Each structure stands twice: as structure tokens, then as C-alpha cells.
Structure 1
Amino acid sequence: MFPTFTLRYARLPSRFFERFDPVPVPSPTLVAFNRPLAEELGFDLEAFDESLATELFSGNRLPEGVEPLAMAYAGHQFGNFVPRLGDGRAVLLGEVTDRKGRVRDIQLKGGGRTPFSRGGDGRAPLGPVLREYLVSEAMHAMGIPATRALAAVTTGERVMRRVPEPGAVLTRVAASHIRVGTFQYFAARGDVDGLRALADHVMERHYPELADTEHLNRPEGERYLALLEAIQKRQARLIAKWMGVGFIHGVMNTDNMTVSGETIDFGPCAFMESYDPRTVFSSIDEGGRYAYGNQPGIGQWNLARLAETLLPLIDEDQEQAIARATQLLESYSAHFEAEKHWVMRAKLGLAREEEGDGELIDSLLEAMQTGRADFTLTFRQLSDVAASPESEPALLELFERPEVMQAWLGQWRERLTRESVGLDAIAARMRESNPRYIPRNHRVQEALEAADRGDFAPFETLRQILARPFDDQPGREEYSLPAAPTERVFRTFCGT
């Protein structure tokens, strides 16, 4: 049933990981299976056997040819460096090559206490597993790079967090699970050979253009500086895409930032409703370090920590290495602003670039903050207004102070006159960039609470809706609406 596994990471030096077999669970039940993703990965779905799949996705049985392991990494957690973290409850089975020729990790999350668990139980509660399933798949459907959810299995046991909760295992798929913190693990030990092996592995896997003959003939330091630049550009693009849908990661520690440019770890994440860059949901982010508006700056901070690990590879002269890395990092803001403007221009229906577009974007966000307007609905209603001016009252109803939006609309309409296509085409283009449906916090919470009671119907309904975020879905309009005052979710929690 499973495709053929390869063991690229397992063939790296043994200090990169700890061998670890998943700990069996007492009574697994398959509650979600992502058939389109399985098809993409090369699964033999004609031979699909649910009982066998349940055993495999729970970790009770291992696919042929795997050598399970827990990956070693370190990381800055809320600014404080921890030199040894690692996979405390995740087990990398290996890699498969999908039908498009892409190498993908397959990992079990919640597979039991590993050598990196640091006293934890190594298990995962059902709620966070289903949250990650819903949000990661929604992100993918919105065109935002993210790890994927292949399956969710309940374990038949309860795990203790704030209260006892049903246990579960998530099967997660990623371009890789290598993080900034993976580099920090070797840097903290002064292991330059380990850093070089890791960097070369990352170039071969994620940035093959840096591993071609032309780059191999360049001085070594230039190759590793080019790697830092490539990772920086992907991260700037990723965070700009987050900002474009109001996504708040919630825990942007360096061990939660992949070098592949995918979103990873969806514990306390959430989507903003009323626009406010200070918005925080994570219960553990008491100081607002990872608030919505801080995410671009935190991305640069994390990249600076990555740059520190690469200094011995960039130049033997540390001062020279610092100068070269610093110069590169200073270009991050320009990369991010360019990516942000590309995302936001698309949301406003602007295909061509003009000098005043940045001010137009910023003034809209100011109007939304002043009017406490819902982020997602504002942009979606703008898509309707572009083609149909009579839709304007519905847009203005989203604002506590509609006059601030009315003033902005005149500027926007004047700007649209300089586009090369008509308003109907602009509106259609906008609908491809502005989702109608996002994983609204209260809807996710409803689905998780029902699942805790053994009712997975709300989860399945929400999963189907979020698979088509840009489509109008008649009869499901209520799922596009923000929470009523009594439904609002103010805090989200990690699953550890």
C-alpha cells in the first residue's frame, strides 16, 4: 500500500538523530485519511486496506524498508536558546518520491517518548492533531507552502494536558523537517563538519541549483552564503503569504522554521478576524512576541540565528564572515516588502505595479483597523465591489466607521482605471487571491470539541469546505462569517 521509502536523512552521520521505533498504541481507529494526497504520494489506493492503514498510521506496524528516527535539533524558544530539543514525539519514517518527482518526508507525530522527550509523554492529543490537519490542509488549498496532513488516528488512550484528552497520531508530510534549529544544534557543539554535511544535504534536497557544477566550482564560502540568501528569499515569500490571509503562527521559534520555506507546527496558530497587527492568540505568548504584525521582523531575527551557524562555512575569517552575512541579511526587508506588495496588489486586483501602490495598501489596512473590519471578508467583498458597485453597502457594513472606507474606495477605483483589463476580469482575478473560507477559530474549536465527544461530522464538514477556500459554496455561507461575541476564541494552546 505504501510507496517505496528511501532513507536519505537516515544515511547522514548518526549524530544527526536517534533511532527510535514508534511506541504501539492500544486501540487505534482511523478517523481521517487524505486520499488526494495519498494519490499524489504514489500510494496504491486500489490495495487500500483500512485495518492495515490504521496499524501503519498509528505506528503499531512499520512499512517495509523504513528505519524510524527522531531528528536532533536545538532552537531559540521565545528568544531563549535551548541547545538540545529534538523530536520529542515525532518519528521520521523516511522519504518517498511523489508522482511529480519531489522527495517528501513522512513522519508520525505523537509516536511515543523519544530520547529527546525531556520528560514529556511523547503523545499527541486529538484536538491539536485535528487542528493541524485542518489548518495545514487549508493553507495548502490557499496556495501557501505548508506541511501536509495524510492521516489522523485515535489511539484509544487518554493523554494529560490541561485535562485528560483523547490521544491521537498525525501522519505528516513535508518537503523535509530540517529547521533553523537543526543548524543551531551542530553550531552549539562546534561541529563544523556536521554543519557542512547538513548544509550540503539541504542544498541537494531543496536548492539543487546551488549544487550544480557551476556553483560547486565557486569558492566554498560563496556557496553557503548563496544558501543563506535562498532560504531568506523563501522565508520572506512565506511570511508575506501568511500576512495576506491574516495567519498568525503563534510560536515562531527557530525550531519551528523550516529551511525549505514551508509552514510547520500549527499548535497555537489562528486566523485574525478584526484587523489589528497586535493580535495574539497563543496562550504562551504573553508578551506578544509573535503577534501578527511582528512576524516579518521575527522572520529576519530567525534568519540572523541561521546566519550565525553558517559563519564558519562562509569565511575562515570570522569578521569577514560576519560582514558578508550581515550585508545579506540587510536585504531581507526589501525582499519582504516586495513579496508583501505582490501579495497585496493581487488581493486588490492590481496586476501592474505603480509607485503609489504601497500607500494605497497601507491606507486600506489603516481603515480596516480603525473600522475593526473583518480581514477576510473585507477583501472578499472588495472582489464583489470591483465588478458590482451595488455590492458596496455590504462591504461598508463590515466597518464600525464606514466613512473611512468610503474615502479609500474612491482612490482604489481610480487606480483600477489604469489596469489593462475590465472590472469583471479584475474581480475574477481578485477572487482567486481572496479566500471566502478560512479556518475560523470558533469553527475549528467547534469541530475539535465535537471530535472529543466522538462526533467527527463537524470536522469532516469543515475539512470539505476548507479544501475549496476560494469557491462560493451555496448553503455553507455561515462558515464564512466571523464569530458572534459569544463564540469568540481568544486563546489557542500548544499540544505539548
Structure 2
Amino acid sequence: MFNLNKLLQALNPLLDSRQKQLALQILEGYSNQYYTRFTELFKAKLGLLGMNEDDNYLISFLLRLMEDTKADFTMTFRQLGEITQKQLKELRVSQEFWALQDIAKHKFFPDWVAMYLLRLRRNAGDSDTERRKRMMSVNPRYVLRNWMAESAVQKAEMNDFSEVHLLQRVLQHPFQTQTMAEKAGYSLRPPSWANDLKVSCSS
């Protein structure tokens, strides 16, 4: 919204009075459209069907827990799609669900899980298998992370482009579990050497 306002400010000298009025009308409706789309996207990421007045609270509650625990964004949603409702209900979060292990350390995580499971029961005509399939189709298992790019760049500088080619193949199908990507650790916790990695926007 801030950026769009600044854009309008820059364009104002070029617009006639009618165009200025139209631009203001567009901006007035922007917030509602933004939050509507925001809710739609996060409901899909959480496998929610239909409408429920508490959905926005459920989403914002999870995002707050993720912020507090510095949980990995991509893998938290992916692993919520991979874990069964039974495992989640029993709070049996094994090592493979490392992002969920991080967020599970929050004292309010069991409260969120209880709300989430209750909401999933309101998904009319749904099954846990279908929920997981839906969630895995919108939550990628692989994204290009700084450490992966850095590793590929270091090899490429020594005339070894194998990791560049691997990343190209993997990222063409980011939602599918891939043997080579798993061997490379692309769905694991970032390696410790990447903790101090600094990447600028222009990188």
C-alpha cells in the first residue's frame, strides 16, 4: 500500500483529474482485496475448505508462533501437509519434521494444533489423505535458499556446474519429492556453515 501510494505520488503530475480519481478509487479498494487474497492463499496452504469466521485468527496465530520460534516458513507449511492428523493430534513430531519440531517448542503450539484439528473436521466431505495431497500441491518441498545458491556458485567458480544443473532440475518440480534433492539435503535444516551467510538483494 505504501509503495502504491508513492507510485501514485510520482505519477500524479502526468494524470488528468479523471485519472487521479480512478487511481484513488483503486487504492481505496486495495486493502480489502489484499486481505481477501491473503486469506485465500493461507487457507490453501493450511488445507482449509469453505468459510469459517475464525480462519483469520487461526492463520495469524500460526504466523505469530512461527515468528516467535523463528520456524522455517516453507518447511513449516510443507510438513503440516506431510504429517497426518493422528501424528499431529498426538504431538508426535519426529526428526523428519524438523520445522514442526522448532515450532512445537512454543508453549501455545498445542493450543494452535487443537484449533487447527477442530477446523479440519469442518472440511465437509474431506479426508486426511485429500487434505495432505492438496497441501503438498501448494506448499513446495524445495525453494532456492541462500546456502544452496552459494554452494552452486562456489562450485561453478571452479568450473563445476553440476550443482547449478541439479538446482535447475529440482526447481522445475518443487512440489515433488526428488531422490537427488533429498541426497543433497535440500529439504533439510540449512547447514551450520550457512548461519553467517549474508546475501544482498542484488545477489
1:234-273 superposed matches below 5 A: none
Preserved contact between residue 435 and residue 469 of structure 1 (Cα < 8 Å): yes
Residue 190 (structure 2) pairs with residue 486 (structure 1): no
Residue 85 (structure 2) pairs with residue 383 (structure 1): no
What's the offset of the Cα at 1:332? 1.3
**C-alpha separation in 2, matches of 1:384 and 1:491:** 31
What's the offset of the Cα at 1:328? 2.6
Residue 9 (structure 2) pairs with residue 302 (structure 1): no
Q: Give the secondary structure class of the aligned counterpart of 1:419.
A: coil
**C-alpha separation in 2, matches of 1:488 and 1:444:** 14
| Aligned pair partner of 2:112 in 384, 401, 408 | 408
| Aligned pair partner of 1:424 in 103, 125, 129 | 129
**C-alpha separation in 2, matches of 1:312 and 1:338:** 31
What's the offset of the Cα at 1:433? 1.0
Residue 140 (structure 2) pairs with residue 435 (structure 1): yes
Match for residue 257 of structure 1? Answer: none
**C-alpha separation in 2, matches of 1:393 and 1:460:** 34
What's the offset of the Cα at 1:445? 0.8
Residue 55 (structure 2) pairs with residue 357 (structure 1): yes
1:76-87 superposed matches below 5 A: none
Aligned AA (1:472): T
What's the offset of the Cα at 1:473? 1.3
Match for residue 474 of structure 1? Answer: 179
Preserved contact between residue 437 and residue 480 of structure 1 (Cα < 8 Å): yes
1:341-364 CA distance string (max 9 Å, x none):
111000000121211110000000
Match for residue 315 of structure 1? Answer: 17
What's the offset of the Cα at 1:398? 2.6
**C-alpha separation in 2, matches of 1:373 and 1:495:** 25
What's the offset of the Cα at 1:494? 5.4
Match for residue 399 of structure 1? Answer: 103
**C-alpha separation in 1, matches of 2:81 and 2:152:** 29
What's the offset of the Cα at 1:423? 1.4
Preserved contact between residue 46 and residue 77 of structure 2 (Cα < 8 Å): yes
Compare relative contact order (CA 8 Å, sep 6+) and give the higher one, 1 or 2. Answer: 2
1:315-371 CA distance string (max 9 Å, x none):
26xxxx545533431221111111111110000001212111100000001111222
Aligned AA (1:416): L
Do the aligned partners of residues 407 and 451 (structure 1) sit closer, same or farther apart at CA in structure 2, a change above 3 Å counting? same
**C-alpha separation in 1, matches of 2:201 and 2:40:** 32
Match for residue 187 of structure 1? Answer: none
Aligned AA (2:102): L
1:69-99 CA distance string (max 9 Å, x none):
xxxxxxxxxxxxxxxxxxxxxxxxxxxxxxx
Do the aligned partners of residues 484 and 400 (structure 1) sit closer, same or farther apart at CA in structure 2, a change above 3 Å counting? farther
Bigger Rg, structure 1 or 2: 1
Q: What is the total number of aligned residue pairs between the two structures?
A: 193
Aligned AA (1:315): S
**C-alpha separation in 2, matches of 1:439 and 1:410:** 32
Preserved contact between residue 77 and residue 139 of structure 2 (Cα < 8 Å): yes
Match for residue 32 of structure 2? Answer: 334
Decide which structure has greater helix share. 2
TM-score by length of 2: 0.83
What's the offset of the Cα at 1:431? 0.5
Do the aligned partners of residues 362 and 333 (structure 1) sit closer, same or farther apart at CA in structure 2, a change above 3 Å counting? same
Preserved contact between residue 368 and residue 405 of structure 1 (Cα < 8 Å): no
Coordinate RMSD, CA, aligned = 2.4
What's the offset of the Cα at 1:388? 5.0
What's the offset of the Cα at 1:485? 2.7
Aligned AA (2:150): Q
Do the aligned partners of residues 404 and 487 (structure 1) sit closer, same or farther apart at CA in structure 2, a change above 3 Å counting? same
Match for residue 66 of structure 2? Answer: 368
**C-alpha separation in 2, matches of 1:423 and 1:304:** 44
Q: Give the secondary structure class of the aligned counterpart of 1:480.
A: coil
**C-alpha separation in 2, matches of 1:471 and 1:387:** 21
The 10-residue stretch of structure 1 (425-434 or 364-373) with the greater mean CA deviation from structure 2: 364-373
Residue 169 (structure 2) pairs with residue 464 (structure 1): yes
What's the offset of the Cα at 1:412? 0.2
Do the aligned partners of residues 451 and 475 (structure 1) sit closer, same or farther apart at CA in structure 2, a change above 3 Å counting? closer
What's the offset of the Cα at 1:311? 6.4
What's the offset of the Cα at 1:314? 4.6
